[in-house]
Structure 1
Amino acid sequence: MRLSEKLTKYFTIIVFFSMAFGFVIFFFAIERATTQSAIGKLENLNKIVENKLQTQSIEQIVKSHPHVKISVLSDQDINLIDEVIKEGNYEWNDKLQTMVNHVSVITYPFVGKTHYAIQSQISLTIIDNEFFVGIIMVVAWIFVFVIITIIFFGELITRKLYTPFYHLLDEMKRFDVRENYQLQLMDTNISELNDLNQLFVKTSSQTVEHYEALKEFTQNLSHELQTPIANIKGKIELMLNSDLTEDQMFSLSKMYDELNKVSTINRSLVLLMSLDHHEVTDEKINLSELIEEIISDQDDMIAMNGVTVTLNIEANVYAKLNPLLAQIVFSNLISNANRHNIPNGKISIVLNRNLFKISNTGNEQEFTNETIFQRFKKGKHNSESIGIGLALVKKILNLYNFEVEYQFHQDLHIFSIDLSDN
């Protein structure tokens, strides 16, 4: 059952019982109003009689008003001044062949020095069965008319009022998190429907963000696992071309460390997946030790490319970064400097309390500071690159309010991170 139909049904039931209860009130209200009207007329008649007593005799007045009784009170009744109303004296009337209610009003005015008692009376017919049935029939037809009107117009009105709601339902059915679908919601002056529209827009946006984060997580995981896997493969190749020596045992130890990094990177990417809701803490990491450790881990790969590394690292430089995320940032920057270098090229790393700067020789690319950090951007000389690492670097640094910039100057690719506000 549609919402509009259900509302019409409930509204019809409510109106039915409300009108039934209203009929009971209406019935007694008519009876009461009739009595009050009669009392008002009798009070007015008594006032007229009181005025006539100033110029006419009692006999003359009674003759012209047969339903009025007038008597002169003695000094013993001087305290009778309050109006008296009598009603509810029911009796059978043979002439009318029905029950009547005798209503009387007694007033005690002083006309001159004479104290009078004026009693006027009227007989009201009681609502009999035929009259009662007639009222019920009239009300019943009103019931039928009102209910038909509610069913017909109520359905039209509720459908019109809920058109934005039904439109929202259709939009929700068409919404697909995998598609870049722009929601087309109807404007309405109903605050609850506006709130519902806003809630759906907010929820759908969050859903898309979570979906994109999941996609990004998968892509980042694939990218970040490439470097340690490549390192392991390189070391295995070296082992295959030589006898088992002390160096080979050392290489095996390095392979074990790289496998540990795979696990660490995996945990880091799980954390990265929730970066939008990540709470930045005040924990700090020693960047000097971290960078030297990363250089040591990647030393074999750097040596295989014939790249010379120049280090100018100030000791005990700390930065407010999550250790796992910091590992991802600087491993990416250093491995990129090696992977996108030229044969027998150079890498220069400078670290102090205000700046981290890494520069490497390499072919000029078409990137700018605005485009190089975009996801899936690949250089014309680096078709094997997936194009996620630098986007990941920027996202982590932005989370911790660090600015990273890129420039190509004098055949050098330069990445700079401002640490001055750390």
Structure 2
Amino acid sequence: MKLITKFVLIYIIVTVFVLGIGGVVSYHVIKGELDKELKWRFLDRVNRVTHLLEKGKRFEGKVRGSNHTNLEITALPNRVEPSVEVRDTLVWHHRLQQRETNLKMVAHRNVDGTSYRIATHGALVESDDITEAVIQILLWILGLQVVGAVGVGFIVSNRLFKPFRKTLKRIKDFTLQDKEPITAEETSVAEFDDLNKFVEEMTSKAVSDYKNLKEFAENASHELQTPLSIIKGKLELLTETDLSPEQYQFVEDSQRSVKKLSRLSESLALLTKIENHEFTETEEVNLSALINESTQAFDEFITLNGLTVKTDIKDDVSVQMHPVLADILWTNLFQNAIKHNVEEGNINISLNHQRLLISNTGDPLSSTPEELFRRFKKDNVEATSIGLGLAIIKRIVDQYDYTISYTYEEGWHTIQIDF
């Protein structure tokens, strides 16, 4: 939900709540004012009658007319104290043929030694009528408020939040490969200026850290290769000298360690490049052709290990990937299936437009499957494995939003990649 939509919804909810309270208050205020006005009108009527009695005019019983509607004047045999009493009463309404609630005022007045009872009444404005009027008014106000809120919301969204949306787009488009931080732009809102300055500082630091890390990784990888090459050469010279069987074994172990270290350096450098999104270009890679060619290239190695490879590869299965990453992905998968197989084992390869599936025979895992795709996690602690092959595969798969899964069933390890 967009920020402006949330703001409008909150505004409408608060408005409805406030109008609800305002409606109750308005009802009681209007009703009170109407009752008070009716009481003042009745009291004025009583005062006028009293004035006429004092002038000598005499009334008896009910008095009807344009000026004294619903007026009843009665002379009392006994003297009483002046008083005014107001109460609700029910009066028969001839037109509606039903009893209606009325407000009745009964006053006692003394004129020339005679006490009079002056009674008058009038129809009250019914509660239902007041409620209906208040609801209509509130609905009109609410409608205008909603229209105003939506209108203001669009204006605010289109104008006030324009710099924010622009900054957000620049953040989305920002990549470390461009090596350019997002520069702060001045706006008319202080908070947006603060945001832009923070984004500029953050991206500047990110670019600087990326450059330093990339330079370190490249330099470390490059500088490591030189001494490793020297060590390899020296060890090869040692093998040509007159060595005892024990010394020869030491040299051979050292050569294996150097090769492993060299592969580790190259794999870490590759993993760093993948994580830094240095392989951004994509093109249509024919995965069917790539797998067929790779399988043929490993024929000697497969034969040497006594393995049987069965394939079910659909023709012209293509994916949008960087060609180097596609080759690395498949090579690591295939080498993993060969390396972690058993003697005279089997490898099954299946490829269609939806998924790539590779299975190999092998011993059950001694660790949990979730750890297989983590760096330096390996089920077999043999010296030739560096524990980065599946981590590299996982990183490539994640870069292209594919999904990868592992299962083990009845002696078969299976890795499946869904495109």
- When the two structures are superposed, what TM-score results if normalisation uses the length of structure 1? 0.40
Highest CA radius of gyration, 1 or 2? 1
